[in-house]
Every structure is written in structure tokens, then in C-alpha cells.
A and B are shown apart, each in its own frame.
Chain A
Amino acid sequence: MISRAVAVFAGVVLTVASADVLTSRPIADVTIADVAVAVGGAAVTVVVVLAAVFAVFAVGGAAAAVILGGAAAAVMAVVAVGRAASSVDGGDLLRVVRAFVAGSRDRLKSCFSSGIRWLRDSFRRRSRAAVASGRGHRLRIHETVDYLVDYLVERAVRRLPEGARDRFAEEWLDHRSHLQGWRLLWWALCVRATAALTASELEHARLPRAEL
């Protein structure tokens, strides 16, 4: 089960990163070749996602990882070649790699890559904390889950009516003492997904502020 999840995660990250790099050029410099590559890349991404779903549910864990890895590498290659074709003359292998690396670096520096920066900063922060607490560099999976749960619950609470936020943040905090691991993460995802509905119901109920 974990290998399947890792395979899906790796595939998604690689395809998103490829798309991310592809769109990193300034809009004024975008050429028809870029657009063609973007359309091609999007088509390949769709195929990769469908293949990933098929691989995970029909084939199995290890085989799925191999298929996903190959598919993700194919996407990366298409993106890199397309990028090189539009931005590098001639384009030997080294230039292709350099163009791809330069695009990745630019993208990570851009203000539109906050999601990647958030993950990177989070990883560094937690890594430093792990070193400081004497556990070494290794990060434990439950710390990552806790971090994601914090993030999801915080986003869910923000959707609630202002008067109810503190109360439900504290009530939901209690759930975390009951659940662990993937179950906790699934619960947080559900809370985040139903936050708008909960907010709407709470607004209907209009709890008196004194009762909060």
C-alpha cells in the first residue's frame, strides 16, 4: 500500500515539476514552439496520469513504480527536449540538460513557485529541528503527516465563520489525539474538503456567540 502511494506521489510530483518548468519562461518570450510543447506536454501528462491510475489499481505496487518512473522520465524528456528546441540552438545532450536545470532553478526562484518553496523550506526547517533534537537528519513519516494535517486543518478553520473558528479549531484538535498516520491525514483531508459545507451549516445555525 505504501509503495503504491509513493509511486503515485512520485509520478504526480514529477509531472507537476515538468509542467512547472515548462511554464517558467516569461510570457513575452513564449514562442509557438513553446505552446506546441506545452500542448504536447499536457497530453502526455494526461496519458501518464491515466497510466498511473491503471498501473496502481490493475498491476500492483512494484510494477506500478517502474511504469510510473518510466512514464515520468518520458515526460521529463519531452519537456526538456521541447524546451531545448525552443531556447537552445542545435541542442546536444549537455545543452538540453543545462536548459532543463536552468529552467528548474529559475522556476524555484520565481514568485509563482510558492508551493515548491513551501515544501522546500518546510523540509529544511524540519531537518534542522531533527538535527537539533539529536535524531539526526532522518525525518520521520509521522512528522510529515503532522505537518500536512496542521496545514489542512488551518485552511479548514479559515473557511468557518469568524465567531466559530476558535471553538472548532480546539474541537478538531481533540480528534488528533484519537487518530494517527494515514487515517489522521485522511481525516484532515475530509475536514478540509467539507469545510465550506460546515461553514454554511454553521452560518445557518447561527450559534449565539456566548455559547462558543
Chain B
Amino acid sequence: MGKRRASGPRITLPTAMVLRLLLEDPTAEYYGFAVAEAVGFPSGTIYPILARLEAAGWLSSYWETDDPARLERPRRRMYRLTGHGATSARAALTATQRLLGTLPTAPQAQPGTA
């Protein structure tokens, strides 16, 4: 656990996409369904990512305080990047992009040379 907190969460492709969404406006608050819709992954993928980021301290979350009866819907759990999270997320995305940039480009397929 400590090791994971020190080195940060795993940056998988879905995690990177979630971080990119959150970094578009680091002060904005999102709820789980909105993140899932924006990123295009199912909730079975999104919620574990949010939990990992939250456990690493990159995200903070809280229940919205408005009365569900007034809102006429269940209350939502809101997620927001922490200051440390925003810095770390930018660094992680930059590192990932740099890593991808070092990969050799795939050779072009030659038509008719199967």
C-alpha cells in the first residue's frame, strides 16, 4: 500500500483517459456516470480507477449535500482532483506520452505481400 502511494497509481490507458478528462478543468467536479460517459468506458472500469486515484490521494470525493428529494434523483458522489493529484497527473501523462514517443513506429503494411 505504502509503495503504491509513493509511486502513484498504475497508469493504464483508461486511467490516462480519465486523468486527461479531469485535467481539462482541474477545479471541476465530476460524478461517476459523467466520467464513464465522457471517457466511454463502462462503470466496471471507471469506478476501480476512481478508487485507485482516490486511494493514492490524487482525487478527493464527497457526497453532494443537496437534498435528493428536492433534486428528484439520488445524491451523487462528486470527484475532484487534489492539488497534488493535478501535478502528479500532469507529470504521469507527460511521462506516458514521452514513453509512447520513444516507441518505434509500426512498419507500413505492403499491399499484396502477404
Contact = CB atoms under 8 A, between A and B. Distances in A.
Interface stretch (B18-26, B72-80, B82-90): B72-80
Given A201-B52, A207-B51, A171 B32 contact: yes
A206 B73 CA distance: 29
B1 interface: yes
Nearest to B48: A201
Nearest to A177: B73
A191 B48 CA distance: 12
Q: Which of A175, A193, A204, A205 counts the most chain B CB atoms within 10 A?
A: A205
B28 to A, nearest CB: 18
A128 B78 CA distance: 39
Contact of B1 (A164, A177, A206): A206
Interface residues of A, number: 27
Contacts of B33: 174-175, 178
**Interface residues of chain B: helix, strand, loop or mixed (majority):** helix
A201 B31 contact: no
B42 interface: yes
A173 B43 CA distance: 12
Interface residues of B, number: 23
Contacts of A191: 42-44
A174 B31 contact: yes
B55 interface: yes
Contacts of B31: 171, 174
B54 interface: yes
Contacts of A190: 42-44
B1 A197 contact: no
Given A175-B33, A191-B43, A194-B42, A170 B74 contact: yes
Contacts of A211: 54, 61
Interface string B2-32: 0010000000000000000000000000011
Interface of B: 1, 4, 31-33, 37, 42-45, 47-48, 51-52, 54-55, 61, 63, 73-77
